[in-house]
């Protein structure tokens, strides 16, 4: 069972981590920003510059440097917290108990973490939201317009409210910067997903998972409209934290991160370009949908069941 579980958790990675593809994409990305500016449809939208690309490439190649600050960029949509949920400051238990034999070693040990207050998107970023960033010239279109069972997915109005997929970490990072936010840390993601009661699922430990999240459809499944399972909300009101799609986090993946994790506002990993993804997807059975499960993916990886949501940590007025 452990071998099967371990192999299942690599699905996101093995499909998409061919290194030469990543290099080609990076080259194309750099070429696409070779001009002094990129024309956007609206004068109020953000335009990314070659200097921003350089800042970001420095960050990727040298993880001892801080994340680049794009706070001086004009934001395409402006900061909007109406579709975010507030997670108050305080402690919670992160990770799986040592007695949990289903959990992998890098999900252990459970440990107390204290986080500052933050906001996190109520839903995963949708096709419609991401398309606005692409139209502005700030974001790059997803690697495929299809989904697992739909030849045309991205770009169709029928799927505007479905999670955007086939986006790598870099694309997710830039989108969050465009809307004035950032990717959540792994600790933030887990607290938003399970609360302070160490829930197995976002909604608690009881209930039929099949009725409360999009999961268990490896053969014939696909993404569903965000927010389709309101009864599966986390303690803070975040939806689809389990199932639907895996989600990128800001953190680099570290197998031993929990063994020496800082108690306050931890950020995983210090080198490399392998990032942590959380939440599992529609392809996984409910048995594996624990909120402690961690997976890893190269920053240039993408998949039909991998998306993201954004976070924000500055104090803003609640809606």
Report pTM.
0.75
Other Cβ atoms closer than 10 A to 27: 10
- 211: pLDDT confidence band, cut at 50, 70 and 90? confident
With a cut of 60, say whether residue 24 has pLDDT above it: no
What 3-state DSSP class applies to 86? strand
Contact 199, 205 (CB under 8 A): yes
Which of the pair, 96 or 70, is modelled with greater confidence?
Answer: 96
Q: Pull the structure tokens for residue 159.
A: 């799927």
Lowest mean pLDDT among 21-30, 205-214, 229-238: 21-30
Helices (H), the chain: 2-8, 11-16, 19-32, 50-61, 127-136, 169-178, 186-194, 209-212
| CB-based burial label for 2 (10 Å; 0-12, 13-18, 19+) | exposed
Q: What is the pLDDT of residues 50-94, one digit of tens each?
A: 455 455 445 444 545 555 554 454 444 456 777 999 999 999 999
Other Cβ atoms closer than 10 A to 318: 9
Parse the chain into domains and list their residue ranges: 2-312
Whole-number Å distance between alpha carbons of 299 and 9: 17
With a cut of 70, say whether residue 8 has pLDDT above it: no
Which of the pair, 187 or 269, is modelled with greater confidence?
Answer: 187
Which of the pair, 74 or 281, is modelled with greater confidence?
Answer: 281
Residue 21: what pLDDT?
44
Q: Crossing angle for the helix pair 169-178 and 50-61, nearest 10 degrees? A: 130
- 200: pLDDT confidence band, cut at 50, 70 and 90? confident
Q: Pull the structure tokens for residue 134.
A: 């692409």
Residue 113, phi then psi, degrees to nearest 5? -130, 140
Contact 146, 153 (CB under 8 A): yes
- 17: pLDDT confidence band, cut at 50, 70 and 90? very low
CATH of 2-312, one of 1.10.238.10, 3.90.1580.10, 3.90.180.10, 3.60.10.10: 3.90.1580.10
Q: What is the pLDDT of residues 237-273, one digit of tens each?
A: 999 999 899 999 999 998 888 888 899 999 877 678 8
What 3-state DSSP class applies to 2? helix
With a cut of 60, say whether residue 117 has pLDDT above it: yes
- For the chain, give the mean pLDDT: 78
Residue 168: what pLDDT?
96
């Amino acid at each position: 069972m452990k071998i099967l579980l371990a192999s299942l958790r690599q699905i996101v990675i093995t499909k998409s981590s061919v290194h030469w593809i990543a290099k080609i994409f990076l080259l194309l990305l750099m070429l696409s920003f070779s001009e002094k500016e990129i024309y956007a449809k609206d004068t109020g939208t953000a335009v990314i510059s070659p200097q921003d690309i350089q800042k970001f490439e420095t960050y990727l190649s040298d993880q001892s440097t801080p994340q680049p600050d794009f706070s001086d960029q004009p934001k395409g949509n402006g900061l909007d917290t109406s579709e975010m949920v507030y997670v108050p400051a305080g402690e919670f238990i992160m990770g799986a108990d040592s007695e949990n034999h289903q959990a992998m070693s890098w999900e252990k040990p459970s440990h107390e973490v204290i986080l500052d207050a933050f906001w996190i998107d109520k839903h995963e970023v949708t096709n419609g939201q991401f398309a606005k960033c692409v139209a502005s010239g700030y974001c790059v279109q997803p690697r495929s317009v299809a989904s697992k069972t739909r030849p045309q997915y991205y770009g169709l109005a029928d799927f505007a409210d479905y999670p955007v997929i086939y986006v790598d970490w870099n694309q997710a990072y830039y989108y969050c910067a465009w809307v004035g936010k950032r990717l959540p840390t792994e600790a933030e993601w887990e607290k938003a997903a399970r609360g302070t009661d160490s829930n197995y699922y976002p909604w608690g430990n009881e209930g039929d998972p099949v009725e409360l999240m999009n999961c268990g459809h490896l053969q014939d499944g696909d993404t569903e409209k965000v927010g389709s399972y309101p009864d599966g909300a986390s303690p803070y009101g975040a939806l689809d934290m389990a199932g639907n799609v895996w989600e990128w986090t800001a953190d680099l993946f570290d197998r031993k991160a929990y063994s020496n994790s800082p108690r306050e506002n931890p950020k995983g990993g210090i080198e490399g370009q392998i990032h942590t993804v959380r939440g599992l997807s529609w392809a996984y059975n409910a048995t594996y949908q624990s909120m402690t499960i961690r997976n890893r993916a190269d920053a240039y990886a993408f998949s039909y069941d991998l998306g993201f949501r954004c976070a924000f940590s500055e104090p803003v007025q609640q809606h």
